[in-house]
Amino acid sequence: MSMTSVRGRFAPSPTGPLHFGSLLAAFGSWLAARSAGGEWLVRIEDVDRGREVPGAAESQLRTLAAFGLDHDGPVEYQSHRGHLYAAALGRLLDAGLAFECHCSRADVAGAGGIHRSCRRGAHRRDPAMRLRVADGSRVAFDDAVHGRVIQDVDRAAGDFVLLRTDGCWAYQLAVVVDDADQGITDVVRGADLLDSTPRQILLQRALGLPRPRYLHLPLVLDDDGRKLSKSRASLPVDDADPLPALRAAWHALGQDPRRLPAKVSLPATLEAAVRAFDASRIPRGPIAATAVHNAAAIRHA
């Protein structure tokens, strides 16, 4: 067992090369862990095989290495961890906290996408498994950047899916099981996942697992205020020239640019960043891609 008290992680989905937004999540979680003297793990979230892009995980790992974001321990792959998710689902079923759902997509869509009860008599050959979310399931937690977050999970998400009709494990179950199994104490990730955190906390409670601390980083939006997806800044960061993108990420994280010395090596830059990192400076965002001056990310345009 490690003596360190902080253990963070970066958990990308292998759907493409790392772009500036994912670099921000990687760098932010790495800084939070390393500045606390903690460990940093990398986990490839490849439960959704249909969305996986061949070679993407390898490309992401090459980029992390090129940027000097070193990780502890072996890289874990969710596709190899199905037995852990099955055991967790089994415990939930045994406790009466999960159930088999035969509703069609149209049944759930007809209820605004919020599942509260199964349509009587529905039957399908490929049922989903859902968590039973009781009425009045209010979850509150304190995010290090966003402050107090409160959600009525029964109204916002309903009985959410644990195992999909296509046989894939749902993200919510996999991430909760993995964070607990890997002893993650600090979840630092993009604010696009802020809304799903209450569901994960409900699952932690149902499974009797500890709750990590949460810090949700600002999203990087494109020039039109949309999530980075098709804009120029969503292009891959450049493995051959990491310093401009790292400096842009440092700036986007609200950190003091004067604390990063100019014209020094990548290791020296990272050392300075670990020393100077101050999580209380991270903005709630969102951040406009144009404000990031991300030469590396938009170079290919």
Whichever of 163 and 292 has its CB closer to Zn ion, that residue is 163
Give the one residue of 31, 32, 101, 260 binding Zn ion; rule: CB under 5 A: 101
Minimum Å gap between C-beta 104 and Zn ion is 9
Q: Select from 109, 47, 40 the least CA-distant residue to 78.
A: 47
Is 189 a known ligand-binding residue?
yes
Is 271 a known ligand-binding residue?
no
Minimum Å gap between C-beta 160 and Zn ion is 11
Longest Cα pair distance anywhere in the chain, in angstroms? 69
Is 164 a known ligand-binding residue?
no
Minimum Å gap between C-beta 120 and Zn ion is 10
Minimum Å gap between C-beta 199 and Zn ion is 17
Whichever of 101 and 202 has its CB closer to Zn ion, that residue is 101
Whichever of 26 and 108 has its CB closer to Zn ion, that residue is 108
Stretch that binds Zn ion, among 25-33, 59-67, 117-125, 166-174 (CB under 5 A): 117-125
Stretch that binds Zn ion, among 46-54, 94-102, 143-151, 261-269 (CB under 5 A): 94-102
Residues 6+ apart with CB under 8 A from 56: 14, 15, 16, 17
Dist CA 254 CA 139 (whole Å): 29
Point out which residues pair with 149 in neighbouring strands.
141
263 in active site: no
Stretch that binds Zn ion, among 24-32, 111-119, 248-256, 259-267 (CB under 5 A): 111-119
Whichever of 121 and 208 has its CB closer to Zn ion, that residue is 121
Is 103 a residue that touches Zn ion (CB under 5 A)?
Answer: yes
Is 118 a residue that touches Zn ion (CB under 5 A)?
Answer: yes
* Dihedrals phi, psi of 39, to nearest 5 degrees: -95, 160
Per-residue b or e along 6-44, where b marks 16 or more CB atoms closer than 10 Å to that residue's CB: bbbbbbbbbebbbbbbbbbbbbbbbbbbbbbebbbbbbb
**Strand bridging mode 138-143 / 147-152:** antiparallel
Dist CA 159 CA 130 (whole Å): 6
User: In this structure, what token pair is assigned to residue 23?
Assistant: 């670099």
Q: Which residue among 83, 125, 148, 230 is the active-site one?
A: 230
Contact residues toward Zn ion (CB under 5 A) are 101, 103, 118
Which residues does the annotation mark as catalytic? 230
